Amino acid sequence: MAASQASLLLQKQLRDLCKKPVDGFSAGLVDESDVFEWSVSIMGPPDTLYEGGFFNAIMSFPKNYPNSPPTVRFTSEMWHPNVYPDGKVCISILHPPGDDPNGYELATERWSPVHTVESIVLSIISMLSGPNDESPANVDAAVGVVFHILATSISIVS
């Protein structure tokens, strides 16, 4: 029963995105017979290191969506502090609901069934615009971003 409700909700979210596209990304099914796996294309946000880029990702939904979050994995090469080397996105809203076992995130920052495909992708676009370097999934990328910011700040001051 839960899988059929999730399927109906995902079909509705896809229809809504097709009727009213959102600037900065597009989404569709990887395979028309599987509403639980989406292909997402994200344009790099202006005034960021990713500006002008076009990044593809796969969004995989659990059968009990929206009670549990999807996983999002970039299939395009992505060098970002909040993206693991295998492409998996690490942002708070994609973490399971409830209290954080590590005590880092508030429960209100984690997954909630009110999120939609649109809110997830907009959060990823926001992540591209402002990485969270306090708990990086990719330490090398976090160091690189901090170095870039410092180098840019120094050149602006000079």
Active-site residue set: 90
Could you give the count of Cα atoms lying within 13 Å of 83 in the half-sphere of its Cβ?
A: 22
Whole-angstrom distance, CA of residue 40 vs CA of residue 91 = 17
Measure Cα distances from 103 to 21, 39, 99, 106 in Å: 37, 32, 7, 7
Output DSSP code: residue 152: H
